Amino acid sequence: MNMPALIPTLKFALKNTVVLLTLLMLQGCNEPLNWHASDITGMLPDLEFSLNGPDGEIVDAGSLRGKPALIFFGFTNCPDVCPTTLTQLSVVIKKLAAQADDIQVVLVSVDPDRDTPEVMKRYTASFGPWLLGLTGSEQTLGAFMKRYGVYAAMESSESKGTYNVMHSSTIFAFDADGHARLLISDVSDGDAVVSDIRQLINQ
């Protein structure tokens, strides 16, 4: 085959190659993400709240937009679940390295009577600047917990002020647009949590 006759054939082959590569790239973009936690995309409402921050300022869901957020419900007098979970999350933050700045971790109190903004500020500081503590009135927090099906109930106690609060320990993961994406029930496997968070960050 002479050169002039070969040129149209090469152009056709090149065009087909470009189309094939484009299709492969689109297929790769549409592949489902490999989540370790439970995928709840579309199952829960978007992140929405208005609570008191560490200095008593109002913090709402809009202030968290732009980066994924992990929301954990607990309280500062929690004897075991909360400190254990937050300690495990601190390991996750370290594993994220530079990407730790691209995620916001929030502790929302289920014990508003004792967890004032000042108390929350001192407690979260013991874990690190990566943890934001939020509290509010019983009514406001109750509405927030109801929105996401979070359970919390005070245990009876003979001595006032020494009661315990039973509560859900699941972590809710929201994407940068505030959409509910994951339920993380186990943070002991730091590598799995890191993998999920990185996927949220890179979306």
CB-side neighbour CA atoms (13 Å) of 82: 26
Distances (CA, A) of 141 to 5, 136, 146, 187: 76, 6, 8, 24
Q: What are phi and psi of 57, to 5 degrees?
A: -75, 155
Average pLDDT, the chain: 86
Q: Where are the domains of the chain?
A: 1-31, 38-202
Is 1 a residue whose pLDDT tops 50? no
Q: How far apart are CA 68 and CA 203, in angstroms?
A: 10
Q: How far apart are CA 34 and CA 83, in angstroms?
A: 29
Q: How far apart are CA 196 and CA 27, in angstroms?
A: 21
Say what the pTM is. 0.82
Fold for 38-202, please state it. Glutaredoxin (3.40.30)
The predicted-structure confidence for 145-171, as pLDDT tens digits, reads as follows 999 999 888 886 655 567 899 888 999
Is 185 a residue whose pLDDT tops 50? yes
152-154 and 165-167 strand pairing: antiparallel
**DSSP letter assigned to residue 30:** T
Q: What is the DSSP string of 51-118?
A: EE-TTS-EEEGGGGTTS-EEEEEE-TT-SSHHHHHHHHHHHHHHHHGGGGGG-EEEEEES-TTT--HH
The predicted-structure confidence for 3-62, as pLDDT tens digits, reads as follows 344 334 334 334 444 444 444 454 444 455 799 999 999 999 999 999 999 999 999 999
On the 0-12 / 13-18 / 19+ scale of CB atoms within 10 A, 88 is middle
Q: What is the DSSP string of 145-161?
A: HHHTT--EEEPP-SSTT
Whether 182 and 194 have beta carbons less than 8 Å apart is answered as no
Residue with the two structure tokens 């085959």: 1
Token digits of residue 62: 């809009």
